[in-house]
Amino acid sequence: MARIVQKFGGTSVANTDRIKAVALRVKKAVDAGDQVAVVLSAMSGETNKLVEYVTTMSKLYDAREYDAVVATGEQVTVGLLALALQDLGVPARSWLGWQIPIRTDGVHGRARIESVETEEMQKRLEKGEVCVVAGFQGIGPDNRITTLGRGGSDTSAVALAAALGADRCDIYTDVDGVYTTDPRITPKARKIDKITYEEMLEMASVGAKVLQTRSVELAMKQKVRVQVLSSYSDEPGTLVVDEDEIVEKELVSGVAYSRDEAKITLVAVPDRPGIAAAIFGPLADNGINVDMIVQNISQDAQATDLTFTLPIADLDRATSTLQAQQENLGYRELRADKNVAKISVIGVGMRSHAGVALRMFQALAEKGINIQVISTSEIKISILIAEEYTELAVRALHTAYGLDAD
Amino acid sequence: MARIVQKFGGTSVANTDRIKAVALRVKKAVDAGDQVAVVLSAMSGETNKLVEYVTTMSKLYDAREYDAVVATGEQVTVGLLALALQDLGVPARSWLGWQIPIRTDGVHGRARIESVETEEMQKRLEKGEVCVVAGFQGIGPDNRITTLGRGGSDTSAVALAAALGADRCDIYTDVDGVYTTDPRITPKARKIDKITYEEMLEMASVGAKVLQTRSVELAMKQKVRVQVLSSYSDEPGTLVVDEDEIVEKELVSGVAYSRDEAKITLVAVPDRPGIAAAIFGPLADNGINVDMIVQNISQDAQATDLTFTLPIADLDRATSTLQAQQENLGYRELRADKNVAKISVIGVGMRSHAGVALRMFQALAEKGINIQVISTSEIKISILIAEEYTELAVRALHTAYGLDAD
């Protein structure tokens, strides 16, 4: 007997038939003697529809009204699941953010959860009642509905699991777990049985968007064991856990990639103190997040070449910002390149092993792939390459680190 | 400068364009210096969709979950209207039932409003802010969302107007007021400028469903001046007010009809004490509302013929209920007739005038229309006739009581 939070995303509750299927799955856990709280997203497509209503009404919309409107999607699904469970003879009731309450800060549209009141829910769980909780929403200090930002239902589920002291938080999605790399790129990709919070965070930051980043951060902080699994099968998924729970640590757990990167090189930037701040300050002011930064020695001894990456979506804005400052910054030329990809290898094992990067460089060199930029963190090595080599590089690294399925 | 509650129904907020049109209308009143609170229904069709979701989930559904699901329709429209108003530069915010709060009893699905807290709204109205209130919903003693039953937004609007001490409650619909009779039956039908609560109630009870009956009862009790008008025009509508406000009372204000009636005659019922209770008791137990009742003397001195009307939808149930009791009740024969219509003339003026009924009987006799049943109340005379004479009777009476437009 365990206490479990189950979270189902939009495709899992896409229509009344799917919601009935979720009810059967919940009933199975209840019949097995588990105490179950369920967190739901809105029906897939519903939140987009509501957001479109809002933006049609007002371009610079009041986020408080946005929240009141878009929070209705989850209100519908939780009511319907409670009904479906009751129809199967399982005691259940729906809970809205303001009823629990799930208290958040007042940042409407992307609020952060501050507390979850669980006294009443605990009592009901102990009596065998299923608590069906609306994800993505809470109540702010102004007594108005807040929402947590897109994908926020994952965070709701983890916060609820922490508050309830749940044994596990199962996140049901349309994939059956976290993979060593994208199975569309290589059939040798394997489902990972256990992965650490840190690795999961790094995976998410480079494009493997299985869980909302904030939910993983919260799970790590609150030590909530999270399982990512499929709502279409009965197979176990991937457990996201503390490093202590993993006995045999892989050197590298996964290979991720992102094609959403662009590269800017400023040629012959005057090599003087304060120049980096002068360049990146205006970009930050415009809300542009810069990622990898490399400074090379230029042919010219008085100057340096500066290269950095940023999201493709921000490239035009960054370019015009920097060109407007060319005289002030004193660089000779700005080169922009969209045809790049970032490839990352991730693993907590690399903390205690030397030679991880070397193996990466060798594997790529063997395939004739040129590395443009390198950046490393404690458990991740990322490189930038020409986009056309993406699949080749991913496959080569997957093999080089011994991740290939038998 | 006045304080006004404006209520817009489902067709008036059917889509984002219509909601923007509502915003312009509200802005006009604000620009004219009025304090405005707005009550909205869900987009037309939305509540039906949500109800269908609920009944798909569970035939014998939990009304508390039903309420949570169907109340979302109004939550969407109030958020969107607040945004549309803000976009026009009009300060506005949305209010949900639980935020105000509008407290109701605990009868989920058809709750009754017990109180409306208006302190905060009053302050905001005085500062020129528009309060956009979700109709149809409140909060029950169990801290869960309640709904007021279909058409409940009219009641929300009247209750809010009463609580705010509003000068008027304007109910915008897709008709431009209350008519002396159905304009589809005679082009001589006229829009009524002023009508009393009592007349409005009688009109509603015989099929002129412009306002929810309960909202008129509440307006009468709380002396709220209600105006029924079109959201498609700028013409004044029909004012529903206290009798004192109407100086020149018409003898008859309107002619209404209903084809939703059926007639049952029990032939040769034993004429003994308690027989009426024995007949109507089982019908009441089955939730069947009987309307007009007439008892004739039968040819047989020991027995009587009993005729009554009821909604067509209940006819089969009533027939089988009574047939099961034939031996016990001792009647000779049951005759059922669906081809009947009820025609009513309504007017507070008939209280102080004799001869109103006579004029009715004469007008019908002139057209050769046979009257099957007569029933009268203080301000209404209803008759039952063969359904095929409906239009002829309505037109004859409309002329006979001097209601025809010039």
| CB proximity list for A85: less than 8 A, separation 6 or greater | A23, A26, A27, A91, A92, A130, A132
Instruction: Measure the N-to-C terminal CA separation of chain A; round to a whole number of Å.
Output: 36
Whether A58 sits inside 8 A of B84 (CB atoms) is yes
- Given an 8 Å threshold on Cβ–Cβ distance, is B62 in contact with A82? yes
Cα(B78)–Cα(B82) distance, integer angstroms: 6
What DSSP state is assigned to residue B355? Answer: S
The tens place of each residue's pLDDT in chain A, 406 residues long, gives 899 999 999 899 999 999 999 999 999 999 999 999 999 999 999 999 999 999 999 988 999 999 999 999 999 999 999 999 999 999 999 999 999 999 999 999 999 999 999 999 999 999 999 999 999 999 999 999 999 987 799 999 999 999 999 999 999 998 889 999 998 899 999 999 999 999 999 887 665 667 888 899 999 999 999 999 998 889 999 999 998 888 777 789 999 999 999 999 999 898 888 888 899 999 998 888 898 998 877 666 678 889 999 999 999 999 999 999 999 999 999 999 999 999 999 999 888 887 889 999 999 999 999 999 998 888 999 999 999 999 999 999 999 999 998 7
In sign, the C-alpha dihedral spanning A384, A386, A389, A391 is positive
- Residue B349 dihedral angles phi and psi, to the nearest 5°: -60, -25
Q: Tokens 């519908």 label which residue?
A: A76
> How is residue A106 written in tokens?
């007042």
The alpha-carbon gap from B27 to the nearest alpha carbon of chain A, in Å, equals 15
Q: Domain A244-406 falls in which CATH fold? A: VC0802-like (3.30.2130)
Q: Could you list the pLDDT tens digit for every one of the 406 residues in chain B?
A: 899 999 999 899 999 999 999 999 999 999 999 999 999 999 999 999 999 999 999 988 999 999 999 999 999 999 999 999 999 999 999 999 999 999 999 999 999 999 999 999 999 999 999 999 999 999 999 999 999 987 799 999 999 999 999 999 999 998 889 999 998 899 999 999 999 999 999 887 665 667 888 999 999 999 999 999 998 889 999 999 998 888 777 789 999 999 999 999 999 898 888 888 899 999 998 888 898 998 877 666 678 889 999 999 999 999 999 999 999 999 999 999 999 999 999 999 888 887 889 999 999 999 999 999 998 888 999 999 999 999 999 999 999 999 998 7
Q: What residues of A are in contact with residue B15 (Cβ under 8 Å)? A: none
Query: Across the beta sheet with B130-134, what order do the strands follow?
Result: B92-95, B130-134, B35-40, B3-8, B168-173, B226-230, B238-241, B194-196
**A7-46, pLDDT tens digit by residue?**
999 899 999 999 999 999 999 999 999 999 999 999 999 9
Report the 10 Å Cβ neighbour count for A251: 17
Kindly list the distances between the CA atom of residue B215 and the CA atoms of A387, B177, B395, in Å, as whole numbers in the listed order: 67, 16, 29
Residues of A whose CB is below 8 A from B54 = 79-80, 83
DSSP E strand stretches across A194-242: 194-196, 226-230, 238-241
pLDDT reported for residue A213:
86
Cα of A55 to nearest chain B Cα, Å? 9
pLDDT at B52: 96
Contacts of B42 by beta carbon, 8 Å cutoff, 6+ apart: B10, B13, B50, B70, B73, B74, B76, B77, B136
Q: Which residues of B touch A98 (CB under 8 A)?
A: 98
Class of domain A3-174: alpha beta
Q: CB neighbours (10 Å) of residue A319?
A: 15
Would you state the pLDDT for residue A301? 67
Place of tokens 């929300």: B156
What is the rounded distance in angstroms from the CA atom of residue B5 to the CA atom of residue B224? 10
Choosing among B16, B27, B83, which should be mutated to test the A contact, i.e. which has the most A CBs within 10 A? B83
Contact between residue B322 and residue B329 where contact means Cβ atoms under 8 Å apart: yes
pLDDT tens digits, residue range B247-258? 777 789 999 999
Do the chains contact at B82 and A62, CB–CB below 8 Å? yes
Going by the DSSP 8-state scheme, the letter that residue A109 receives in this structure is T
**3-state DSSP call for residue A226?**
strand
How far is the alpha carbon of A163 from chain B, nearest alpha carbon, in Å?
22
Which of chain A's residues have a Cβ under 8 Å away from the Cβ of B96? 68, 145
CA-to-CA dists, residue A401 to A111, A249, A361, A367, angstroms = 40, 13, 12, 15
| Cα three-residue angle A148-A154-A160, rounded to 5 degrees | 90
The H or E element that residue A306 is part of is: strand A303-311
Q: Which of residues 40-59 of B touch A (CB under 8 A)?
A: 50, 53-54, 56-59
**pLDDT value at residue B195:** 94
Pure H helices in B40-113:
46-57, 63-70, 72-87
- The reply to whether residue A82 touches residue B61, judged by beta carbons under 8 angstroms, is no
| Residue A80: how many other CB atoms lie within 10 Å | 31
Nearest to B76 among A72, A79, A143 (CB): A72
Q: What is the C-alpha to C-alpha distance for residues A218 and A148, in angstroms, rounded to an integer?
A: 13
Q: Which of A80, A119, A136, A137 to mutate to test the interface with B (most CBs of B within 10 A)?
A: A80
Q: Which of residues 62-81 of A touch B (CB under 8 A)?
A: 62, 64-66, 68-69, 71-72, 75-76, 78-80
In our burial notation (b when 16+ CB lie closer than 10 A, e otherwise), range B102-115 reads bbbeeebbbbbbee
* Residue carrying structure tokens 């205690």: A352
Q: Where are the beta strands (DSSP E) in A153-260?
A: 168-173, 194-196, 226-230, 238-241, 254-258
Q: Please state whether A136 falls in left (phi above 0), alpha (psi between -120 and 50) or beta.
A: left
pLDDT, tens digit (0-9, with 9 covering 90-100), for B37-80: 999 999 999 999 999 999 999 988 999 999 999 999 999 999 99
Mean pLDDT of chain B: 93
Assess B132–A contact: CB distance below 8 Å, yes or no: no
C-alpha angle B296-B298-B300 in degrees, rounded to nearest 5: 160
**Sheet-wide strand order for A340-346:** A254-258, A340-346, A380-386, A373-377
Give the three-class secondary structure for A264: strand
Beta strands B254-258 and B340-346: pairing type?
antiparallel
How far does A50 lie from chain B, in Å, by closest CA?
A: 8
Cβ(A216)–Cβ(A200) under 8 Å?
yes
Residues 6+ apart with CB under 8 A from A278: A325, A328, A329
- Whether residues B80 and A61 touch (CB distance < 8 A) is answered with no
> Residue A75 is nearest to which of B54, B68, B99, comparing CB atoms?
B68
Q: CA of B54: which chain A residue's CA is closest?
A: A80
Q: What are the tokens at A126? A: 């102990």
Q: Which segments of chain A belong to CATH 3.30.2130.10?
A: 244-406
Is residue A242 within 8 Å of A200, Cβ to Cβ?
A: no
Residue A65 to residue B80, Cβ atoms within 8 A: yes
Could you give the 3-state DSSP secondary structure of residue A41? Answer: coil
Query: According to CATH, where is 3.40.1160.10 located in chain B?
Result: 3-174
Give me the pLDDT at residue B377, please: 86
Query: Checking DSSP bridges between strand B113-116 and strand B102-104, what pairing results, if any?
Result: antiparallel
Q: What is the pLDDT of residue B8?
A: 97
Q: What's the CA gap between A160 and A137, in Å, rounded?
A: 12
CB contact under 8 Å between A86 and B62, yes or no, is yes
Angle among Cα B73, B76, B77 to the nearest 5 degrees reads 90
> Residue B207's pLDDT is what?
57
Q: Which two tokens stand for residue A260?
A: 């959403």
Query: Would the CA dihedral through B264, B268, B269, B271 be positive or negative?
Result: positive
H or E element that contains B215: helix B213-222
Alpha-carbon span A37 to B59, nearest angstrom = 24
The predicted complex's ipTM stands at: 0.84
Q: Which residues of B touch A56 (CB under 8 A)?
A: 16
Pairing of strands A238-241, A226-230: antiparallel
Q: What distance in Å separates the CA atoms of residue B78 and residue B131, rounded to the nearest whole number?
A: 9
Looking at the whole model, is its pTM more than 0.90? no
At residue B205, the pLDDT reads: 67
Whether the CB of B82 is below 8 Å from some CB of chain A: the reply is: yes
Contact B93 A58 (CB under 8 A): no
